[in-house]
Chain A
Amino acid sequence: MGAVVLRLKAPPPWPLDLAALQPAALAGKSADEIARMTLGRVAVGDVFAVSAGDAAELVLQGGSPLLDCVGAGMQSGTLLVEGAVGALAAAGLRGGRLEVRGDAGDHLGGAAPDSRMGMSGGVVLVRGNAGARAGDRMRRGLLIVEGDAGPEAAGGMIAGTVAVCGAVGAAPGVLMRRGTLLLGTPAVAPPPGFIVGRLAGDGTFLRLLARALHAVSPRAGECVAAVQHRWLGDLAALGKGEILVTGGQAIPQHQRSG
């Protein structure tokens, strides 16, 4: 049978909290059981055509910015969205893999409402753009945005890796404590609270990072290859975070990942 597939029948009537649709929880359920699950005032079957499956794989066909909390709190399995998602996708995600083939809203991989911690494991890949505060207070894991990200990306980050291949909004890495923020758009000066640091001599770390990212997103892997600057901060907080920035000019081929 394979993956559970939920096909969006029509745009949702209002923002829906999809946190209950966890790949592991849906595996093995009948189409009827899934259709009867409620999302606030509506049932899953009101919004989605359900095709049951037995694997911890969930595919959402069709997206909408009104689909909130997609993959929020996810611990295992894979979730693929063939379209856009709303706010709080992957909020508090702890494991597994979420891929969004479209745009994501605010607080991607951030803290669930009421919680003080962002995602703490797993892999999140957004093919489009992300809203404000992507990777907010992230503790662990890998979050890649192939498009642009809004303001305060990786804000309050504690550890882990956030990669934004496109442009990034104001105050990237604000209140960052530790962790790595990779920016794919060339820049020359660090944001406030960050100071210029040295790139590690032989590039071993970057090669490892490039390999890890390349496996998920070749585009993100290529950004690593073009890294020219390393900025350290946020000095308003612990100050042990790093922003890696491409300089617009690729570093030599032999340093690139295989």
Chain B
Amino acid sequence: MLTRITGGRVIDPAHGRDGVGDVWFEDGRIVPPPTGRAADASYDAQGAIVLAGGIDIHSHIAGSNLNTARLLLPDLRRDGSFDGAPASFEIGRLYAQMGFSLVVEPAISPTVAMQAQLELAAIPFIDRAILAVVGNEDFLFHLMRADDGANAIADYVARALAGSRALGVKCINPGAAAALKANARAFGLDDVVPRWGFSSRAIIHALQQAVATTGVVHPLHLHCSNLGLPGNVETALATIEAAEGRPLHLAHLQFYAYGTEGPRKFSSAAPRLAEAVNREKNITVDVGQVMFGQTVTVSCDVLRQFNGRHSAHPRTWSIAEDIGNGGGVVPFRYRRTSFANAVQFAAGLELFLLIDDPTRVFFTTDHPNGAPFTTYPDLFALLMDRELRAQWLATLPQEAVAMTTLPAIAREYTWPEIAMMTRTAPARLLGLVDRGHLAPGARADIAVYRPQADRAAMFRHAALVFKDGVLVARDGEVTTPRFGRVLHSSPGFDRAIDTRLAGFFEDTYGVPHRAFDVAAELVGGTEHFEVVPCRS
């Protein structure tokens, strides 16, 4: 069916397009304006904004940690107001309503990938992908010590991607989970894993090299050490330096943007971080914006969650260790009246506004850690409207606001910058050639927003949302559920790594390593998946 969206302001930064015009699609793909054929269906977008479907590169939408959050907090969900851990179906519905077409779950240990893939299979409307977590397994340390370390680690990483059906590689506080098992309660970039002697820095280097060797497009996606601690800007700056010019993605940078100035020894150091990101072009970041309200923190940074469990609100938690990272679930309420939470809120916005290249900074709230993803509409509105920011800031403790530069920042995101940050750039960062833009050949993943005084309302309920050319949401109401695809990489590797894994796993853990592999036939078969090519 040939479909035409007419008369909207079409913004496609990938091709320098920003102007009133039409978008045509047929059989799930964007097509050039046909000559001599009339559209079978036509949608009027006059006065509206037409973008490609939104892409969220870092949102915890699946996996046993998130599911534990669901089972831990039934009481919070009883009145329907808590979006920290919606059921899978609701995740798809809520994202589709906002005009999103792809969401990446960034923290799945290969040992729990099967469940994560089952959960992804239950999320309708959108495409999904996971990143596989490595960096705290004794098997990796074992390889780092081996003579053929570098090649073996690349094989191991590729094998982990294959077993998990993952798109890319995530590393979460490398070494810290292993150190916690030996009763370490703190772990920085140059601390070493007991018994093995490897530092966090060494693990990052090894994995950066492995990702490059595999040809996976998405760079190593790193959750640094010392998350949330006052003064941790030094850790983030040192980590940026440690990348030595190689591609590195730093996740939820806001949680590392803290100095130790001021009366409470807690201040925003976002300007320093933004400056470093502006300078180092190999670095991409997502923000992990904090928004106020009840949420739940869900993380494979088990050391951080272990240390933070007593700040839980409500007072309950689950810390679950495993043979790799493990994870922790700690509910938390960000309060407008809290000095620290106000600084966090401002520091996130400072990063957004002070990092000048919208191709290297990504909107996230690190759902649900900074806030549920359902707060994105408010976040986008804040980025686009200086006056709105001033209104929010006026409600916060002024001594906290004074610890930030936010009041002085005049920048407002333009529509092309929003389109770049939420569509074009994430597609490129993930290595997707047919998503995130509107040129012929792209998937017909399209979101149409109708501008209105309340920008957040506009972003919350897109006027029209198409996924693969099918209308899936209109003015905030979804249509009959359909399912998108699960994206993954499939780099080659030397099968000899299986022999080594088999020996290690069966003796050490009493479980064959193959038992953890995702069985495609249990999650919709091969058609359910889409392979994203690696660099050759």
Contacts and interface: CB of A to CB of B under 8 A. Distances in A.
A115 B79 CA distance: 13
A116 B316 contact: yes
Interface in B94-112: none
A106 B78 CA distance: 23
Contacts of A114: 74-75, 78
B451 interface: no
B7 interface: no
Contacts of A116: 75, 314-316
B513 to A, nearest CB: 38
Contacts of B78: 114
Chain A at the B interface: mostly helix, strand, loop or mixed? loop
A114 B75 CA distance: 6
Interface string A93-118: 00000000000000000000011100
User: Which of B74, B75, B78 is most buried by chain A, counting CB atoms within 10 A of its CB?
Assistant: B75
A23 B78 CA distance: 22
Interface in B228-263: none
Contacts of B74: 114
Contacts of B315: 116
Interface residues of A, number: 3
Contacts of A115: 75
Contacts of B316: 116
B254 to A, nearest CB: 30
A184 B74 CA distance: 37
Q: Is the interface of B mostly helix, strand, loop or mixed?
A: loop
Nearest to B74: A114
Interface string B61-84: 000000000000011001000000
A250 to B, nearest CB: 41
A81 to B, nearest CB: 25
Nearest to B77: A114
Interface in B300-325: 314-316
A114 B316 CA distance: 13
A27 to B, nearest CB: 23
Contacts of B75: 114-116
A19 to B, nearest CB: 12
A115 B77 CA distance: 11
Interface in A113-148: 114-116
A94 to B, nearest CB: 14
A116 B78 CA distance: 13
Contacts of B314: 116
Nearest to A111: B75
Interface in B433-449: none
A176 to B, nearest CB: 16
A119 to B, nearest CB: 15
A163 to B, nearest CB: 27
Interface in B461-484: none
A114 B74 CA distance: 6
Interface in B277-316: 314-316
A115 B315 CA distance: 12
A115 B314 CA distance: 11
Nearest to B315: A116
A117 to B, nearest CB: 8
A116 B75 CA distance: 8
B329 to A, nearest CB: 15
Nearest to B78: A114
A149 to B, nearest CB: 26
Nearest to B72: A116
B113 to A, nearest CB: 30
Nearest to A92: B75
A208 B311 CA distance: 36
A42 to B, nearest CB: 23
A116 B316 CA distance: 9
B76 to A, nearest CB: 10
B244 to A, nearest CB: 49
Nearest to A115: B75
Nearest to A112: B75
A114 B76 CA distance: 10
A105 to B, nearest CB: 21
B79 to A, nearest CB: 12
A207 to B, nearest CB: 34
A170 B75 CA distance: 29
Interface string B104-131: 0000000000000000000000000000
A125 to B, nearest CB: 27
A115 B74 CA distance: 8
A86 B74 CA distance: 24
B30 to A, nearest CB: 48
B81 to A, nearest CB: 16
A41 to B, nearest CB: 21
Interface in A205-240: none
A116 B314 CA distance: 9
A220 to B, nearest CB: 31
A155 to B, nearest CB: 17
A88 to B, nearest CB: 15
A114 B315 CA distance: 14
A114 B77 CA distance: 10
A181 to B, nearest CB: 22
A60 to B, nearest CB: 25
Nearest to B314: A116
A22 B75 CA distance: 20
Interface in A16-42: none
A2 B75 CA distance: 35
B430 to A, nearest CB: 39
B252 to A, nearest CB: 29
A43 B315 CA distance: 38
8 contacts: A114-B74, A114-B75, A114-B78, A115-B75, A116-B75, A116-B314, A116-B315, A116-B316
Interface of A: 114-116
Given A114-B75, A116-B75, 6 more contacts: A114-B74, A114-B78, A115-B75, A116-B314, A116-B315, A116-B316
Interface of B: 74-75, 78, 314-316
Closest 8 CB pairs of A and B: A114-B74, A115-B75, A114-B75, A116-B316, A116-B314, A116-B75, A114-B78, A116-B315
